[in-house]
Amino acid sequence: EPEVTQTPSHQVTQMGQEVILRCVPISNHLYFYWYRQILGQKVEFLVSFYNNEISEKSEIFDDQFSVERPDGSNFTLKIRSTKLEDSAMYFCASRDYKRGGDYNEQFFGPGTRLTVL
């Protein structure tokens, strides 16, 4: 069964360093997302991406964050200069376009745990 994959599963970095989190969405999906969960808090939306551009972003997704689909299969989240408060589990998700539209289920990857020291 097709699945969303994410690498690495765990990333440890120093404050101020750049990190790139990688995701491979399900191959025929057209909509891509990043969410994160800070320990003890709710899963929160970061950004959605469609047709090679950002469709929507949250207040969290400031200039330090960027997303890219560099080669038609990978979907990446870059944090330019990490802060302690960026420590969280980051989830990638993807969604198909089919009848049902925006309601359709989003398929999630297993997450990357980012620890900023």
Partner 1 sequence: ILNVEQSPQSLHVQEGDSTNFTCSFPSSNFYALHWYRWETAKSPEALFVMTLNGDEKKKGRISATLNTKEGYSYLYIKGSQPEDSATYLCAFIYNTDKLIFGTGTRLQVFP
Residue ranges in contact with partner 1 by CB under 8 A: 3-4, 31, 33, 35, 42-45, 48, 55-56, 58, 91, 95, 100, 102-111
Give all strands of the β-sheet with 19-24 in edge-to-edge order. Answer: 5-7, 19-24, 75-79, 65-68
CB of 53 to partner 1, least distance (A): 15
CB of 103 to partner 1, least distance (A): 4
Nearer to partner 1, 65 or 108 (CB): 108
Nearer to partner 1, 35 or 75 (CB): 35
Is the Cβ–Cβ distance between 93 and 64 less than 8 Å? Answer: no
Nearer to partner 1, 8 or 110 (CB): 110
Residue with tokens 């989190």: 21
Residue 20, C-beta contacts closer than 8 angstroms, at least 6 positions apart? 76, 77, 78
